[in-house]
Chains A and B, each alone.
Chain A
Amino acid sequence: QVHLVQSGAEVKKPGASVKVSCKASGYSFTSHYLHWVRQAPGRGLEWMGIVSPSDGSTLFAQMFRGRVTMTRDTSTTTVHMELSSLTSEDTAVYFCARVVGAIPYYDVWGQGTLVTVSS
């Protein structure tokens, strides 16, 4: 069975960085792109970017460029999302999601990781 299991909740101070992990299991890790999506309190879903587990290539939403890094580790079938220069606006639940389909869609999601940015 396909699973994406994310790392636990984090509390960070403004200006710090956070690294969220997403471990994949139950399928061929390098066969599917993984995306990151977040939801801030009281707000909608926001697409952050893509990482290719196959070659490590990435694509980010404009608002995160220069501040986000997405990497993969094929030995542990894990992708990581690191966000730097945190502000209170980055307080959100962060999700990873697997992409499938010729018309891409997310069939499996991680459980979400709450990141709280507070002084």
Chain B
Amino acid sequence: DIQMTQSPSSLSAFVGDRVTLTCRASQSIANYVNWYQLKPGTAPKLLIYAASTLQSGVPSTFSGSRSGTEYTLTITSLQPEDFATYYCQQTYSAPFTFGGGTKVEIK
């Protein structure tokens, strides 16, 4: 199975900060990585697919990139509504594993 190691597991930041979340895949998976935002009591929301494509309707403050087996989600200016938990997922091969999540909290 492909492991997705997500870091950090949590972070505290101010509104307006730039934050970077990372997922490292245990093997090469091309660009088969997606990022989701999860808030309590709601379904996950797609932010980025295929490593770097912004989902329609998602603010341009979100971006995704890849370097080798490392995938990054960047939020350039944190907004109050961005405080949530973020997950990466690989869909290169089953089981389609998720990272452990990064909880972004208000400092």
Using CB atoms and an 8 Å cutoff, list the residues of chain A in contact with chain B.
35, 37, 39, 44-47, 50, 59, 61-62, 95, 97, 101, 103-107, 109-112
Contacts and interface: CB of A to CB of B under 8 A. Distances in A.
Contacts of A44: 87, 98-101
B87 A105 contact: no
If over half of B's interface residues share one DSSP class (helix, strand or loop), that class is named, otherwise mixed; here it is: loop
A45 B94 contact: no
B74 interface: no
Interface in B1-51: 1, 30-32, 34, 36, 38, 42-44, 46, 49-50
A105 B44 contact: no
A104 B87 contact: no
Contacts of A59: 94
B97 interface: yes
Q: Which of A35, A103, A109, A112 has the most CB of B within 10 A?
A: A103
Nearest to A6: B43
A64 to B, nearest CB: 10
A107 to B, nearest CB: 6
5 contacts: A35-B96, A103-B49, A104-B96, A107-B46, A112-B42
B98 A45 contact: yes
A104 B95 CA distance: 13
